[in-house]
């Protein structure tokens, strides 16, 4: 399961915890309610579905039951306030606290002031690549990239990544990552993240023909399904993404940067069964 500081919606966090427990045991919503001390077996499901919200007492029950640390509990409390508060100033204050806690936990939540990070596909790629090429010049780095990224593109991107705090320059042409992970808030920068996904998809279309089969893996399914099935598939993709992140996190000597796309989207309009 992702670190709590990857989340801005406590309902998604609670649902992910449920799915993780269910994947390894006979965990149920009733068991979830019993664990957290709620009398109604359906209460947490209603919370996760957005049909009700956690009270202050309920928030503390959940934090204690899930054995959150002091810092995680503070983050969870502010996440509940951020999601449920109807006061704009309170929401902003809660978001600021979330960002500060995440920063102290070495995880960056990218807000609207850093949308530029997602505007070019090579920004996240360079953030990974430069740590593998200490001392390399912008030209040497650009020569390692597919997609026609120029030396000037690389240098401008590196300058931005340093200025925005995503990288730290230690010595000449040597960079370090300032945070362990970057989480983009879909609430703050949906258009920028959408643009990033589009760019990565187009990049894949450009370069896959030039790569041998041993260096790429592309597969897919075309299926007929309904909304319930779609939701289940999306959940499985999310679980898969988390497992992949854990596998990659164990890599000791990386020597290449990869992009992994997990996609599911409709290719037809929805059929009206009544018609």
**Collapsed DSSP state (helix, strand, coil) of residue 138:** helix
Q: pLDDT tens, 123-142?
A: 999 999 998 999 999 999 99
Q: Averaged over 210-221, what is the pLDDT? A: 86
What is the β-pairing status of strands 181-184 and 107-110? Answer: parallel
Q: What is the pTM of this model?
A: 0.56
pLDDT higher than threshold 80 for residue 185: no
Q: Averaged over 102-113, what is the pLDDT? A: 64
Q: Is 55 exposed, middle or buried (0-12, 13-18, 19+ CB in 10 A)?
A: exposed
Q: Averaged over 47-64, what is the pLDDT? A: 94
Q: pLDDT tens, 37-48?
A: 999 999 999 999
pLDDT-based confidence at 74, cuts 50/70/90? very high
Q: Which residue has the higher pLDDT, 15 or 205?
A: 15
Residue 133: other Cβ atoms inside 10 A: 16
What is the β-pairing status of strands 167-171 and 174-177? Answer: antiparallel
Q: Averaged over 159-183, what is the pLDDT? A: 82
How far apart are the C-alpha atoms of 138 and 154, rounded to whole Å? 6
167 forms bridges with which residues in the sheet? 177
Q: pLDDT tens, 2-11?
A: 788 889 999 9
pLDDT-based confidence at 35, cuts 50/70/90? very high
How far apart are the C-alpha atoms of 206 and 3, rounded to whole Å? 34
117 forms bridges with which residues in the sheet? none
């Amino acid at each position: 399961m992702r670190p709590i500081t990857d989340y801005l919606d406590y309902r998604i966090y609670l649902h992910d915890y449920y799915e993780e427990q269910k994947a390894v045991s006979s965990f149920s919503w009733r068991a979830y309610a019993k664990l957290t001390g709620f009398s109604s077996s359906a209460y947490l499901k209603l919370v996760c579905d957005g049909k009700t919200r956690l009270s202050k007492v309920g928030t503390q029950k959940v934090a204690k039951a899930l054995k959150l640390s002091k810092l995680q509990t503070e983050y969870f409390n502010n996440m509940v306030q951020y999601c449920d508060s109807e006061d704009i100033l309170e929401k902003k204050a809660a978001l600021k606290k979330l960002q500060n806690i995440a920063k102290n936990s070495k995880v960056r939540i990218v807000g609207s002031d850093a949308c530029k990070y997602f505007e070019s596909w090579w920004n996240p790629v360079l953030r990974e690549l430069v740590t593998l090429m200490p001392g390399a010049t912008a030209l040497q780095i650009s020569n390692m990239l597919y997609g026609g990224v120029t030396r000037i593109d690389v240098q401008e991107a590196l300058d931005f990544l340093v200025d925005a705090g995503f990288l730290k320059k230690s010595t000449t042409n040597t960079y370090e990552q300032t945070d362990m992970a970057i989480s983009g808030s879909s609430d703050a920068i949906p258009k920028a993240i959408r643009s990033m996904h589009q760019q990565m998809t187009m990049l894949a279309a450009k370069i896959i023909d030039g790569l041998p089969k041993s260096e790429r893996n592309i597969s897919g399914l075309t299926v007929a399904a309904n909304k319930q099935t779609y939701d289940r598939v999306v959940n499985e993709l999310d679980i898969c993404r988390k497992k992949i992140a854990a596998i990659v996190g164990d890599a000791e000597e990386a020597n290449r940067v990869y992009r992994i796309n997990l996609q599911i989207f409709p290719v037809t309009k929805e059929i009206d069964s009544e018609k």
